[in-house]
């Protein structure tokens, strides 16, 4: 699902999620709205078949 959040359209690909050292994060590109973070969280829970406690939804 693609949504517009702010000045530019974008997408989060949660299929290739991995970790990286924070030293590789050079600069902040912007800030996502709360709804965008919730959409990403929901996609990660689905993709990783996680069970989430009702209070953290």
pTM (2 d.p.) = 0.51
Is 41 a domain residue? Answer: yes
Is 22 a domain residue? Answer: no
Is 54 a domain residue? Answer: yes
Is 48 a domain residue? Answer: yes
Is 20 a domain residue? Answer: no
Number of domains in the chain: 1
Can you give the pLDDT at residue 8? 62
By CB atoms closer than 10 A (0-12, 13-18, 19+), residue 42 is: middle
Residue 17 has pLDDT above 60, yes or no: yes
Is 47 a domain residue? Answer: yes
Give the range of the structural domain holding residue 54, as residue numbers without chain letter.
31-57
Task: Name the pLDDT band for 6 (thresholds 50, 70, 90).
Answer: low
Give the C-alpha separation, 1 to 22, whole Å. Answer: 28
Is 14 a domain residue? Answer: no
Is 2 a domain residue? Answer: no
Write out pLDDT tens, residues 20-53.
888 888 888 888 889 988 988 888 888 888 877 7
């Amino acid at each position: 699902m693609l949504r517009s959040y702010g000045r530019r359209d974008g997408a989060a690909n949660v299929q290739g999620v991995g970790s990286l050292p924070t030293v590789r994060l050079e600069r902040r590109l912007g800030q996502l709205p709360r709804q965008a973070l919730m959409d990403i969280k929901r996609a990660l829970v689905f993709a990783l078949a996680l069970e989430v406690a009702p209070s953290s939804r």
